[in-house]
Structure 1
């Protein structure tokens, strides 16, 4: 009998669904020592799960490639650096399953989050960042994911984007309007093939709510292309509810600072921290 919990079983099944049929059948032979003959994809999955004692045991199998675990985590809203080793992805997956905060149980963030009588800005910020970066990164062709529903509908019509890039030389860009802002941000992943990995730990995420309904979400993270870490970013979002769209949250402005490795001067790139303090964020609320 399988020793998997319901959460582990569901997660393992999702990873198995990402496998090719040949690899799945081969894994089934390995797990059962060729003692059981299966006749379908579904039967192979059920047999593998039934003969698996622990989640770690399944994740360690050679046929469960690191790419499969990486894709699974992205689908669950967990953004990891693309150059992560398999053991790092395994550890993060097991942490996710032990916490119970999988895609099936986690509240849906962002434009889907409705206004409540009372809400925690930090929780909103965490949910928003999970949603935003998963959505944006899904358009990076190198990740091989189905592109998700990106577009101007997630922004206010008069949204502003301020983009400051320090990579070799300093470049500053400003964009106004939902269409232009959404296209410029989309180009980061779709054309430039970047992956933005936010640091959602306390030192990398800060939120602030104004009495006028504006919520600031400030987040730091690393930027990757393929297996190379290119630098870090700091991004501030201004979010306001839309009363005409069921009080869903929409993006009012975006400030994005990008620093390449040559501009960092030894800064820690594993878990970058925010340089903005509360006073600076408060000024943006005024």
Structure 2
């Protein structure tokens, strides 16, 4: 029996933990043919992992619903169309767990842990590439923000004003039926307003980190712009798309960590999009327009 790799085991554990107790116990009975009696959920999960021939077999199980796989991918920062079939979600999940991807994720995970504990401490090497910074920043930021959504059933990570400059600014433009614009000044207010998107409004922001959805550029004055597009979800429903621009500046007093100077967030609800394709939204800003934010 080939069994599950370490990456597959960790991923399957997260998916199983998002399932109901009844489904987990029922699945344990199925995979063991009721030959093993388990006492609780954690024992059932361990049994399911041990008795599964491979990750694909486990994901195919009837009790592993497509919604559980979709939510797992969203938490991992992997954008998928909200109407994806289960077999499409399975294929993308297995790709996400493949050995090459695993090493990249491990590096991103280490970077993410480092940034979370050290105020987005994404240090550039000698050959600084804004796009690499942008990709790693988005992985970190959206995992952190989405963890504030308590309906996902995960432990919220350490969110707060420490990730922003004291004079940070948020500009929020929302087109959901009518158009509304609001601005928030100061690290505390900006932090609280962004957090409320996930915590109070229960939104899940899934960024499109493919080339059409992500751009980054650096100004000569030390500002790095990161622009990203993505989809917005609540539970299993896709509500619309977003475009978000971050201005990042290093803080020499805090181990040269990157902190957020400003955020521009545009939200468009489905009703404002008409027939537009929203599966993997592309940025509408070009490089020239982004450079205007550097001024």
TM-score, normalized by the shorter chain, greater than 0.5? yes
* Aligned pairs for 1:43-54 within 5 A: 44-54=44-54
Q: CA deviation at 1:204?
A: 0.8
- 1:190 corresponds to 2:199: yes
User: Are 1:114 and 1:246, in contact at CA under 8 Å, matched by a contact in 2?
Assistant: no
Q: Which residue of 2 aligns with 1:100?
A: 102
Q: Which residue of 2 aligns with 1:63?
A: 63
| Inter-CA distance 118–187: structure 2 relative to 1 (3 Å threshold) | same
Q: Deviations over 1:239-263 (max 9, x none)?
A: 1111111111110011111222333
Q: Distance in 2 between matches of 1:119 and 1:256?
A: 26
Q: Deviations over 1:177-212 (max 9, x none)?
A: 101111121222222222222111111110001122
What TM-score results when the alignment is normalised by the length of structure 1? 0.87
Number of residue pairs matched by the alignment: 286
Q: Distance in 2 between matches of 1:260 and 1:71?
A: 20
SS at match of 1:100: helix
SS at match of 1:93: helix
User: Are 2:81 and 2:280, in contact at CA under 8 Å, matched by a contact in 1?
Assistant: no
Q: CA deviation at 1:67?
A: 4.3
Q: Deviations over 1:147-198 (max 9, x none)?
A: 2211111100011111222222222211111011111212222222222221
User: Are 2:80 and 2:280, in contact at CA under 8 Å, matched by a contact in 1?
Assistant: no
What TM-score results when the alignment is normalised by the length of structure 2? 0.84
Q: CA deviation at 1:237?
A: 0.3
Q: Which residue of 2 aligns with 1:178?
A: 187
Task: Flag structure 1 segments of 5+ consecutive residues without an equivalent.
Answer: none
Q: Which residue of 2 aligns with 1:26?
A: 26
**Greater mean deviation of Cα atoms: 143-152 or 156-165:** 143-152
What is the Cα-based RMSD across aligned positions, in Å? Answer: 2.7
Out of 105, 113, 122, the position equivalent to 1:113 is 122
| Inter-CA distance 40–162: structure 2 relative to 1 (3 Å threshold) | closer
Q: Which residue of 1 aligns with 2:161?
A: 152
User: Are 1:2 and 1:52, in contact at CA under 8 Å, matched by a contact in 2?
Assistant: no
SS at match of 2:78: coil
User: Are 1:198 and 1:221, in contact at CA under 8 Å, matched by a contact in 2?
Assistant: yes
Q: CA deviation at 1:23?
A: 4.0
Q: Distance in 1 between matches of 2:76 and 2:274?
A: 34
Q: Which residue of 2 aligns with 1:12?
A: 12
User: Are 1:156 and 1:178, in contact at CA under 8 Å, matched by a contact in 2?
Assistant: yes
| Inter-CA distance 3–144: structure 2 relative to 1 (3 Å threshold) | closer
